[in-house]
Homo-oligomer: A and B are copies of this chain.
Amino acid sequence: MIATTPKPPYFAVIFTSTRTKNNANYTKTSERMIALAKDSKGFLGIESAREEMGITVSYWESLAAIKGWKLNSEHLVAQKEGKEKWYKAYKVRICKIERDYGFEV
């Protein structure tokens, strides 16, 4: 579940959101977007959790790969639907991972 990512540097999109109560088509689209991201050029991994707020972090080889994903035509439609229906608020942060380390039992 914790994404297996290469040695830094690599890039990430931190997508933080709060939801409306409108669930129409949300889960289906959300799953489709994850499948689509996984098939996109330069995709490295994705991590997601939601309680009061949702946080999805996707990892990418380059800023160009992130741009490619943002401009994917099916993703653009979902972004529009998201603003119209599913999200009260969201924030997208594009970042460069400079260092990482981990722990496993």
Contacts and interface: CB of A to CB of B under 8 A. Distances in A.
B51 A51 contact: yes
Contact of A53 (B16, B20, B47, B93): B47
Chain A contact residues: helix, strand, loop or mixed: strand
Nearest to A53: B1
Interface of A: 1-3, 5, 8, 12, 14, 16-18, 20, 47-55, 57, 63, 83, 87-105
Tell me the number of copies of this protein. 2
Nearest to A101: B92
A102 B13 CA distance: 13
The 9 closest A-B pairs by CB, nearest first: A49-B49, A95-B95, A91-B102, A89-B104, A94-B99, A93-B100, A55-B55, A95-B97, A49-B51
